[in-house]
Structure 1
Amino acid sequence: MIRVLICDDHAVVRSGLTMLLHGKHDIEVVGEASEGDEAIRMALELRPEVVLMDLSMPHGKDGMTATAELKKELPDTAVLILTMHDDDEYLFRAIQIGASGYILKNAPHEELLAAIQSIAAGNAYLYPTATKRLMSEYLQRMKQGGEPAGAYETLSEREKEILGWIAKGYSNKEIADNLVISVKTVETHKSNLMEKLGLKTRPELIKFALKKGLLNFE
């Protein structure tokens, strides 16, 4: 039996998921949480095999932060991100912090059930269009030879630092405030590092930062 904990800030969504999963011969819903802190507390108490985690929860701890903390406390519990965000940035962040799967809320019921069963068995799961997109981008980068050899090593220490801040989603002003430098200086470093790395978009930068192990959401 796969014990599942559902975390979503909308009661109607939680009820709908519980009704969907109830009666499936290998799945049991053991609890419902409305925000991240509650999900962590319940997971520690109930020890589910799988946690269905929404990302956007305005009241309390969000799903990304909760997932990172939950994986520290219960590394063997699989987290399946269930979200409306069809976005590479969220996808890569979720993978980086330890989520076992990522699926959209508009996915067919059969796909959700398959995802739960897959990650409960120790596998990873991405919704089909995300897998196709990632493979396409990977093959395209390989065709282009990937990023320039040794490009990362050409960055200054400050550029590497700013790369990490940008990849985590901070604005130029927030980076400037944290590093006690001007916004113009941040913009200059950002322009230089993007040129050195041969990157043009923010999703590309996030993927590069993930590959280099620069993302840390502790």
Structure 2
Amino acid sequence: MIRLLLADDHAIVRAGLRAILEESDDIDVVGEVATAEAAIAYCTTTDVDLVLMDLRFGSGTSGVEATATLRDLPNAPNVLVVTNYDTDSDILTAIEAGACGYLLKDTPPAELLAAVRTAAVGQSVLSPAVASKLMTRVRKPESSLSPREIEVLGLVEAGMSNRAIGKALYLSETTVKTHLVHIYAKLGVNSRTSAIARARELGAI
């Protein structure tokens, strides 16, 4: 069972997300909060597997700042950003803060549920719209995979988790996630499986 916390400053958004998520037998929405500070406070006293985090709240701590704080907790929950904002800097800043993935609020319910299950185990996920935006941004002659990105993708192909890849390459787990975001963008994909398949097609791995 995935223990999930909703963090969004709009009650109607939280209600909509809860309605979708609670239809699944493997997801338990254990709480909801309206501020980033409340999300941090909740997770310091309650076991949570995944936080669905808005990027911007009305005031105070941002979703990015809260994500970084949450990921430093002893029993750190995974964080999946769900927001209306899709600028390159927003996406990359959130991932670098430790978020497992990035979805837009217009993501179809089936994709949201799939992303929640993926992010809950610490795997990276991007909504197709976000992956497409990043791909368009980096689609240049120099956008081929770097040696390090090929190395990371090769370990993904071997079935290793982000944490295991980080240990193998002496990188932080956050750095591995950032590499994966760049890989997804360059290959025009939004999942580990698709990245491996596309890289094989291109002869990159």
Shorter-chain TM band? 0.5 to 0.7
Instruction: Report the count of equivalent residues.
Output: 148
Matched, 1:18 2:18: yes
User: Do the aligned partners of 1:103 and 1:127 also contact (CA within 8 Å) in 2?
Assistant: yes
18-27 or 135-144, which moves further after superposition?
A: 135-144
2:29 and 2:53 map into 1 onto residues whose CA distance is 13
> Residue 55 of structure 1 corresponds to which residue in structure 2?
55
- Decide whether the 8 Å contact of 2:2 with 2:120 is kept in 1: yes
Tell me which residue corresponds to 2:8.
8
Matched with 2:157 is none
Which amino acid in structure 2 is aligned with residue 8 of structure 1? D
Q: TM-score, normalised by structure 2?
A: 0.65
Contact 1:30–1:46 (CA under 8 A) maintained in structure 2: no
- For 1:55 and 1:128, the matched residues in 2 are separated by 18
Greater CA deviation, 96-105 or 119-128? 119-128
Residue 141 and residue 69 in structure 1: after superposition, are their counterparts in 2 closer, same or farther (change >3 A)? Answer: farther
Larger radius of gyration: 1
Q: Identity over the aligned pairs, expressed in percent?
A: 39
> Once the two structures are superposed, what CA deviation does each residue of 1:4-42 show, in whole Å capped at 9, x if it has no partner?
000001111112211211131110000001001100111
Partner of 1:123: 123
Distance 1:49 1:114, change over 3 A: same
Distance (whole Å) between structure 1 residues aligned to residue 36 and residue 13 of structure 2: 16
Segments of structure 2 that go 5 or more residues without pairing to the other structure are 147-177, 183-205
- Which residue number corresponds to residue 34 of structure 2? 34
For the structure 1 residues 145 and 67, does the alpha-carbon distance in structure 2 shift closer, same or farther, using more than 3 Å as the test?
closer
Gaps of 5+ in 1: 147-206, 212-218
Shift of 1:144: 9.0
**How far did residue 67 of structure 1 move?**
0.9
Q: Secondary structure at the match of 1:98?
A: coil
Structure 1 residue 145, shift from structure 2 partner: 11
Q: Shift in Å at residue 133 of structure 1?
A: 3.5
**What SS does the corresponding residue of 2:58 show, helix, strand or coil?**
coil
